[in-house]
Amino acid sequence: MDAPKSYYQRHIFFCLNQRDNGEDCCANHPAQAAFDRCKSQAKSLGLLGTGKVRVNKAGCLDRCAGGPIAVVYPEAVWYSYVDESDIDEIVQSHLRDGKVVERLLTPPDVGR
């Protein structure tokens, strides 16, 4: 039996977690702006919707040391990004074209 088709082709989650104890967190970086930029860019490219892409907010993804962090499923590709051009590259290369942006990959040993 074939595996069921996924509801979304790709799903990107942005950590927007805010820590109250003073520890560094994604919310201390431009995480909300990056989420907004990603959603806007994906929408302008017609990527959003059933069978396409979903852009979601997430709580702590527990990889704070690499923050700000986003992860794309089903590939389970973790990204650390800096600015709008990084977000645009993730949208165009990975979300649209299916090509991982190697230079933005979060090192596999980076955790909290």
pLDDT in tens, 8-22: 999 999 999 988 887
CATH superfamily of 10-104: Glutaredoxin (3.40.30.10)
CA end-to-end span of the chain, whole Å?
39
Task: Name residue 56's beta-bridge partners.
Answer: 13
Segments of the chain with pLDDT less than 50: none
Record the pTM: 0.91
Q: What is the pLDDT of residue 1?
A: 57
Q: What is the pLDDT of residue 104?
A: 96
Q: What is the pLDDT of residue 66?
A: 86
Q: What is the pLDDT of residue 105?
A: 96
